[in-house]
Structure 1
Amino acid sequence: MQSIVLDKIDLKILQVLQENGRLTNVELSERVALSPSPCLRRLKQLEDAGVIQRYAALLSPAAIELGLQAFIRVTVNKAGGGREKFDETVQQWPEILSCFALTGETDYMLHAFFVDMEHFSHFVLEILLNQSGVQDARSSFVLREVKKTTALPLNHLHND
């Protein structure tokens, strides 16, 4: 990865791509008021610098029968490499979209999707709580999403 200083055009490219990552280079260049060749060059620089990590399709959980969304707070035994073991093991669980190591009383926050309560119960009782080093797990279920975005805020960057 290389270092890059972002200017207003780069920020506009990032903003537009966060809204629609499938735009063609021509469409992108029109939206950021830049000709296609320089736009493509800037896009490649943003990718090479690691500012753009990857492109992905965002799926509808309901459309693929994942109707139960949960946040699971996990406490682990820190002795004997409990955190390191958990960090490795959580990578293998497809139900877990995100895992965050936290400060405070809870060691980890997991964001997960399940087909239903039976699927959730099996995961927690048979997999999570049987994981070596896991001391406790407490869950909260999502009733409704109030805000959901994958777009990072760019308004704090004021480079010209």
Structure 2
Amino acid sequence: MEKKFTLDRIDLKILAVLQQDGRISFQKLSEHVNLTPRPCLERVRRLEKAGIIKGYTAIVDLPQPQHAVVILAEVELADHAVSQQAFTRELLNTPEVLDCWLVSGNFDFLIRIGCRDMKQYRELAERWLNSTAFKIHKILTTTELQPIKRQRQDLPEA
């Protein structure tokens, strides 16, 4: 039987601090959460082992954007049962797909796509629309102009 993992107030504080600064030393982290370094390290390792901390990331702002055009695409499939798995595999294997969510509502997928230009996006969209495996009914797109806010995952109050 799998034991349910529960987070206490200190775990939530550790997660909040690491979201702000994933490179913080264990000494400083332990000071922020009022623990000595060793128990703090043990808690972080336990959170990593449990899969709550999935990794550490650098937030990068390149002087020249890698993707000159970023598209948000809402995709509606004509037949979910037949094409959802095939289209999901396609999304996972398409390097232009930066982020993707299966969503509820009028559309099935919300996809963030990075391309060097609109021609590259058109070719990708045409390939998807022409595929008999995907059975795409509709793609509605919006172009990103400028990021205003990119947020980390919110944690419950500690």
Indicate how the Cα distance of structure 1 residues 27 and 64 shifts in structure 2: closer, same or farther if over 3 A, else same.
farther
1:36 matched to 2:37: yes
Aligned residue identity for 1:121: R
What residue is the counterpart of 1:138 in the other structure?
140
What residue is the counterpart of 1:84 in the other structure?
85
**Which deviates further from its counterpart, 34-43 or 44-53?**
44-53
Work out the number of aligned pairs and report it. 155
Q: How does 1:1-160 map to 2 (within 5 A)?
A: 3-60=4-61, 63-78=64-79, 81-125=82-126, 127-131=127-131, 132=133, 133-149=135-151, 151-154=152-155, 156-157=156-157
CA distance in 1, matches of 2:129, 2:95: 16
User: What is the CA-CA distance between 1:58 and the residue it aligns to?
Assistant: 2.9
Residues 70-112 of structure 1: CA deviation (Å, up to 9, x unaligned): 1101122216611111111111011112222222221211112
Residues 2-26 of structure 1: CA deviation (Å, up to 9, x unaligned): 6322122111110011111122222
Aligned residue identity for 2:22: G
User: What is the CA-CA distance between 1:27 and the residue it aligns to?
Assistant: 2.7
Show structure 1 runs of 5+ residues with no match.
Answer: none
Q: Percent identity?
A: 29
Indicate how the Cα distance of structure 1 residues 51 and 15 shifts in structure 2: closer, same or farther if over 3 A, else same.
same
Aligned residue identity for 2:91: V
Indicate how the Cα distance of structure 1 residues 83 and 43 shifts in structure 2: closer, same or farther if over 3 A, else same.
same
User: What is the CA-CA distance between 1:141 and the residue it aligns to?
Assistant: 0.7
Indicate how the Cα distance of structure 1 residues 15 and 79 shifts in structure 2: closer, same or farther if over 3 A, else same.
closer
User: What is the CA-CA distance between 1:39 and the residue it aligns to?
Assistant: 0.5
Show structure 2 runs of 5+ residues with no match.
Answer: none
User: TM-score by structure 2 length?
Assistant: 0.84
Aligned residue identity for 2:140: R
Give the ranges of 4+ consecutive aligned residues of structure 1 lying more than 3 Å apart after TM superposition: 61-64
